[in-house]
């Protein structure tokens, strides 16, 4: 055990896929992410969704106002793509300097996706503008066809839609978000095209819970709603492939927590919401997954380098220090006038964030 490192120091990481919600919820959510991450790509699936640049700028101000005193956390905003998004919105978004991507939710695929895209043909003009402007498309990659088995929806989306999208817009920057299958890993690995800066044109984010858990976690001794998210956890062989991809040092795979706060009562219900909350302990969860897989030395690039490189942003100057320390994930944290049960509540984690420095 002598060689076991007791501390870990990495470049300050960023979260390339995060849900913060809005209004009073921001006071509960923003501080958790600001404690670990320097920047985050903030999802636009509010009620109503963030569909234009003016709304994104206003939402950005509300997120900034919820930062704890002295925090330097930077929200990187996104637009929610709808059938009616005008192609001219992309140039406005780019010119704002505050919008970094556009999110594609197939209508009905997940939480607050009702205003999403009903048919990709309806947004071809917008995708052309995004390809021209170098604006990344972030894809929730699941078909909504109720006939398709819920565990197959990602693989079927790749086959039915993503292959064609990649062919029709060869220079569009695409992130396949929160991937859950070996099919998604294979799809990313099959595309090695780069943009003018040498950054990948196709990449994927991976959550900590999809690296740590298979679908068994949802059914261990009963029905466990706090492990229910979309895309849903898959069988363990998929998890193993995701971990191999995340730990491989390939710059096309990087960190995105998909931390998605839902009040306890909204998940422990007869029709519980999809989403796992991991902002509280995100880096610790990833460290646990990488260490279990024997690739802890590759955590830094996955968490702190590859995402920034993909988006053409500088890597952070600050550092995040972790120390080896067993601690128990709290059973709940405060949220509005209720609480959230974090993913892996009650479990013992072996790494703990000790401090973050700016530069």
List the catalytic residue out of 183, 258, 309, 344. Answer: 258
Closest to ligand DOR by CB, 111 or 131: 111
Residue 130: CB atoms within 10 A of its CB come to: 27
Site string for ligand DOR, 271-310 (x = CB under 6 A): ---xx-----------------------------------
Within positions 95 to 114, which residues make up the interface with ligand DOR, using CB under 6 A? 110-111
Among 89, 154, 250, 258, binds Zn ion (CB under 5 A): 258
Q: Name, in order, each residue with C-beta under 8 angstroms of 195's C-beta and a sequence gap of 6 or more.
A: 134, 171, 173, 201
Shortest reach from residue 358's CB to Zn ion, in Å = 28
Q: Is 213 in the site for ligand DOR (CB under 6 A)?
A: no
Closest to ligand DOR by CB, 212 or 322: 212
Which partner from the list Zn ion, ligand DOR, none does 229 bind, CB cut-off 5 to 8 Å by kind? ligand DOR
CA angle 235/292/303 to nearest 5° reads: 90
Shortest reach from residue 231's CB to ligand DOR, in Å = 7
Distance in angstroms (rounded) separating the CA atoms of residues 205 and 11: 18
CA angle 100/304/38 to nearest 5° reads: 60
Shortest reach from residue 44's CB to ligand DOR, in Å = 10
| 258 belongs to the catalytic site | yes
Q: Which helix (H) or strand (E) holds 176?
A: strand 174-176
Runs of H (alpha helix) within the chain: 25-36, 53-65, 88-96, 124-133, 153-157, 163-168, 182-189, 208-212, 236-246, 264-267, 282-292, 299-300, 306-311
Q: Is 45 in the site for ligand DOR (CB under 6 A)?
A: yes
Shortest reach from residue 159's CB to ligand DOR, in Å = 20
Q: Is the peptide bond before 151 cis (omega within 30 degrees of 0)?
A: no
Which partner from the list ligand DOR, Zn ion, none does 201 bind, CB cut-off 5 to 8 Å by kind? none
Contact of 60 with 27, CB cutoff 8 Å: no
Which residues are catalytically annotated? 258
Binding site for ligand DOR (CB under 6 A): 19, 45, 110-111, 140, 229-230, 260, 274-275
């Amino acid at each position: 055990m002598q060689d076991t490192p007791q501390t870990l120091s990495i470049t300050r990481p960023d979260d390339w896929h995060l849900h913060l919600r809005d209004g009073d919820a921001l006071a509960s959510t923003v501080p958790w992410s600001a404690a670990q991450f320097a920047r985050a790509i903030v999802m636009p699936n509010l009620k109503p969704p963030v569909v234009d640049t003016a709304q994104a700028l206003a939402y950005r101000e509300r997120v900034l106002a919820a930062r704890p005193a002295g925090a330097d956390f930077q929200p990187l905003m996104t637009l929610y793509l709808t059938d009616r998004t005008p192609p001219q919105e992309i140039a406005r978004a780019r010119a704002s300097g505050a919008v970094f991507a556009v999110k594609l939710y197939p209508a009905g695929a997940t939480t607050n996706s009702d205003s999403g895209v009903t048919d990709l043909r309806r947004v071809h003009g917008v995708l052309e503008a995004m390809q021209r402007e170098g604006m990344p498309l972030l894809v929730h990659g699941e078909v909504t066809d109720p006939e398709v088995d819920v565990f197959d929806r990602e693989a079927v989306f790749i086959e039915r839609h993503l292959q064609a999208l990649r062919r029709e817009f060869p220079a569009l920057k695409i992130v396949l978000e929160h991937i859950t299958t070996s099919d998604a890993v294979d799809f990313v690995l099959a595309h090695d095209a780069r943009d003018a800066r040498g950054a990948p044109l196709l990449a994927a984010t991976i959550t900590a819970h999809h690296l740590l858990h298979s679908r068994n976690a949802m059914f261990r001794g009963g029905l466990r709603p706090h492990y229910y998210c979309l895309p849903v956890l898959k069988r363990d062989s998929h998890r193993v492939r995701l971990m191999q991809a995340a730990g491989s040092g390939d710059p096309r795979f990087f960190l995105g927590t998909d931390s998605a706060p839902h009040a306890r009562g909204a998940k422990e219900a007869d029709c519980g919401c999809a989403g796992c909350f991991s902002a509280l302990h995100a880096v610790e969860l990833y460290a646990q997954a990488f260490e279990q897989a024997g690739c802890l030395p590759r955590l830094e690039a996955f968490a702190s380098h590859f995402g920034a490189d993909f988006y053409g942003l500088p890597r952070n100057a600050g550092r995040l220090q972790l120390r080896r320390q067993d601690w128990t994930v709290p059973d709940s944290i405060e949220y509005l006038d209720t609480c959230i049960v974090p993913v892996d509540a009650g479990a013992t984690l072996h790494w703990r964030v000790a401090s973050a420095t700016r530069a």
